[in-house]
Amino acid sequence: MDGGGGAAASGRGRIGPARAASVGAAEAAIEGVAMPDAPASPGSAGLPRLPVSIARSAAPWKRGASADTVLPEQEAVVHRWRPAAERLDRYRTLLGSQAAMPMAFPQVPVMAMTLDLVSRWSFPVRAMGMVHMGAVVQALGPLPADAAWDLRCWSTPGRRVRLGLEFDVWGEVSVAGEVAWRSRAMYLSRSRSAAGDEASAVPEPAQDGPWPRQLVLPAEEGTGRAFAGVSGDINPIHLHQLPARLFGFPRAIAHGWWIAGRVAALLDRDEVTPGRQLEIVFRRPVVLPSTPDLRVRDLVDGCEFAVVRAGGDALLCSGRILG
């Protein structure tokens, strides 16, 4: 799946069997960064293996959505999973976070479950080339780092919107039977034949100024590889220029979930605080390396932000954090 709305901006992102083989070789070379399972105790379920899911996601017999595509409702559940302390520390360091539990960190195991769902043989659309359009993350209760987490991830049939078939993948983390965190990620299989007039569920945060505060969002060349090492998301478009160019990008692009987590950390609003909500929509990819501008406007109960190309007004992503 493409991160940061890249294929939506470029209109590219689908690959044929030859390109899939090239991508497979790139994946094999970096399989060592995949996130290992971290069950809490013997008998508890582990996370799906990301290299296996990524290999399935490039299946050459799968295609983009069409007028006849029907997406199945699917679900995955993992019980008593615990985040490794070392991995959480590395995540905090990479994102520059001071939070005990960063707002977007629970998406790390949910990403592994998401890719498992959309790469299953029962899922008719090829995952490689789908576009991550946006997300909503909600903190609903306390989420201790040393607790056993029950994870649930499920997909929905979707909506036929102007650009193709849009669908949601939801994630939940529960502790002691209580839902503490929830995410809703919106994805698009870009297709004229699958398009329709249904309303998109992607958030529509304010994009226009004035923006009283302006920061920068440094995205170094190795950011994608570093985030892959922490998250396990080894999609090759985030790792090196060569595989990214196979998908129509000039260079590697940043993970959408790195952008969301880094922005929240820069704004000091990334602690999982019950009642907090993060909304983000991706418009164009953040290429690596680059230093986009981060524009901020404070609200009574939070803030709005826009990430734009350095020295210009080309919108890369925007959103808001409430609570």
Residue 73 lies in a domain: yes
Q: How far apart are CA 161 and CA 198, in angstroms?
A: 5
Q: Is residue 1 a part of any domain in this protein?
A: no
Average of per-residue pLDDT across 125-133: 90
How many whole angstroms separate alpha carbon 64 and alpha carbon 38?
Answer: 33
Looking at residue 31, the DSSP 8-state letter turns out to be G
Better-scored residue on pLDDT, 165 or 64: 165
Output the pLDDT for position 113.
Answer: 96
Tokens of 279: 């909304």
Asked if the model's pLDDT at residue 11 lies above 80, the reply is no
DSSP string, 264-311: HHHTT--B--TT-EEEEEE-S--BSSB--EEEEEEETTEEEEEEE-TT
Q: Could you tell me if 165 and 191 are in contact, meaning their C-beta atoms sit under 8 angstroms apart?
A: yes
Angle 107-119/223-231 helices, nearest 10 degrees? 90
pTM of the shown model: 0.87
Say what the pLDDT of residue 115 is.
Answer: 93
Q: What CATH number has the domain bearing residue 147?
A: 3.10.129.10
Residue 116 or residue 49, greater confidence: 116
Residue 23 has pLDDT above 70, yes or no: no
Q: Residue 53 — very low, low, confident or very high, per pLDDT cuts 50/70/90?
A: confident
Q: Which residue would you say has higher pLDDT here, 247 or 321?
A: 321
Mean pLDDT for the stretch of residues 206-210: 79
Residue closest to 265 by CA, chosen among 140, 106, 101, 112: 101
Q: Is residue 106 part of a domain?
A: yes
Segment among 38-42, 137-141, 201-205, 209-213 with least mean pLDDT: 38-42
Where does the pLDDT of residue 2 fall: very low under 50, low under 70, confident under 90, or very high at 90 and above? low
For residues 1 and 8, the answer to whether their CB atoms sit within 8 Å is no
**What mean pLDDT is predicted for residues 164-185?**
98
* Least confident span in 87-91, 118-122, 182-186, 284-288: 118-122
Average of per-residue pLDDT across 181-205: 95
Over 80: is that where the pLDDT of 29 sits? no
126 within a domain of the structure (yes/no):
yes
Q: What is the mean pLDDT of residues 236-251?
A: 93
| Tally of domains in the chain | 1
CA atoms within 13 A of residue 301's CA, in its CB half-sphere: 6
Q: Residue 55 belongs to what H/E stretch?
A: helix 50-57
Label residue 21 by pLDDT band (50, 70, 90).
very low
- The radius of gyration computed from the CA coordinates of the chain, to the nearest angstrom, equals 18
Tell me, yes or no, whether 108 lies in a domain. Answer: yes
Task: Tokens for 106, please give them.
Answer: 């629970």
28 CB-near residues (< 8 Å, 6+ apart): 51
Residue 162 domain flag: yes
Identity of the residue numbered 271: E
Q: Which residues contact 131 (CB under 8 A, 6 or more apart)?
A: 1, 2, 5, 6, 7, 8, 13, 187, 188, 189, 190, 282
Task: State what percent of residues in the chain have pLDDT above 70.
Answer: 86
Output the average pLDDT for the chain: 87
Confidence band for 9, pLDDT divided at 50, 70 and 90: very low
The pLDDT, as a whole number, for residue 3 is 66
278 or 22: which carries more pLDDT confidence? 278
The answer to whether residue 16 is domain-embedded is yes
Q: Name the range with the highest mean pLDDT among 62-76, 88-102, 239-253.
A: 88-102
Residue 119 resides in a domain: yes
Q: Name the pLDDT band for 27 (thresholds 50, 70, 90).
A: very low
For residue 73, which of 165, 130, 155 has the smallest C-alpha distance? Answer: 155
Position 209 confidence tier, pLDDT thresholds 50, 70, 90: confident
pLDDT tens across 265-308, in order? 999 999 999 999 999 999 999 999 999 999 999 999 999 999 99
Determine the average pLDDT of the residues in 67-89.
Answer: 95
Using 50, 70 and 90 to split pLDDT, how confident is the model at 129? Answer: confident
Residue 31, domain extent: 6-322
